[in-house]
Chains A and B, each alone.
Chain A
Amino acid sequence: RKEVEQDPGPFNVPEGATVAFNCTYSNSASQSFFWYRQDCRKEPKLLMSVYSSGNEDGRFTAQLNRASQYISLLIRDSKLSDSATYLCVVLRPPAAGNKLTFGGGTRVLVKP
C-alpha cells in the first residue's frame, strides 16, 4: 500500500461546478497535511495547509478525517484556471523521519 494515495483522475468539471476529491494516508501518526497545486510542466506550489477543524481559503475547502485517515479538497465555483494537478502531501511523524511524502496527484480539468 502506498503511503499517500490519490485518485489520479482526471476529474472533468464544468466551469462553475463543484468538485471534491480525497487523499488517503497510511501512517496514523502523521503530523501535518497539505495540498499543493502543480500546473502542467511546472513546479508544485503550496495551495493550503489542512487543519484538524477544516479550513477554507476562498473557493477552496480542506478537511481532515483522522479516524478514516484521509484528507479532502473541495473546489467551489470552478474556474478554468483551476485546471491543474493537486498533490496531497503528508508530513511523517518524527519517528518515521519527519519528512514530507507526496501523493501521485489528482488531475482536474475545468471545461467551459
Chain B
Amino acid sequence: NAGVTQTPKFQVLKTGQSMTLQCAQDMNHNSMYWYRQDPGMGLRLIYYSASEGTTDKGEVPNGYNVSRLNKREFSLRLESAAPSQTSVYFCASSVSSGANVLTFGAGSRLTVL
C-alpha cells in the first residue's frame, strides 16, 4: 500500500548542479503536484499535472521543469540549482484536479550549497 513514493529523501547539491526528483503513485490518480515547503511560508505549488499529458505552472515555477512520464509518474527537475531552492519538496496526487483531498509523499529534503 505505497501511495505516493518520492525519491530521493535527502540530497545535497552544489550551486549550478542539476538533479531530478522522482515521484510515483499507485492509486490510479489523474492529477499530480509538486510543492515546496519553507519555514513560515506554507506549501507553495510549483507545478501540477491535471491529467496524463498535461502540465501547468503553479505559484513558484521559476527554476524548475516537470515531466509527466505516464499516469503514475511525475518528475521535478532542477536544471541549475540555487541556494534559494533549498527546501523540502513534496509530491502529491489527487483523483482529479478539482478534487479536494491530496495524498502526499514523504518529502525530499534538498540542500543547495
Contacts and interface: CB of A to CB of B under 8 A. Distances in A.
Interface of A: 4, 8, 32, 34, 41-46, 49, 87, 91, 98-105
Contacts of B106: 42-43
A104 B102 contact: no
Given A42-B107, A43-B105, A45-B104, 12 more contacts: A8-B40, A43-B104, A43-B107, A46-B101, A46-B102, A87-B43, A99-B45, A99-B58, A100-B45, A100-B100, A102-B42, A102-B44
B97 interface: yes
Closest 6 pairs between A and B when the two form their complex, measured CB to CB: A43-B104, A102-B42, A102-B43, A104-B42, A104-B40, A103-B42
Interface residues of B, number: 19
A8 B25 CA distance: 31
Q: Is the interface of B mostly helix, strand, loop or mixed?
A: loop
A93 B48 CA distance: 17
Contacts of A91: 100
10 contacts: A34-B100, A42-B107, A43-B107, A46-B101, A87-B43, A98-B98, A99-B58, A100-B102, A104-B40, A104-B41
Contacts of A99: 45, 48, 58
Contact of A105 (B42, B90, B104, B105): B42
A34 B94 CA distance: 15
Contacts of A105: 42
Contacts of A102: 35, 42-44
A78 to B, nearest CB: 24
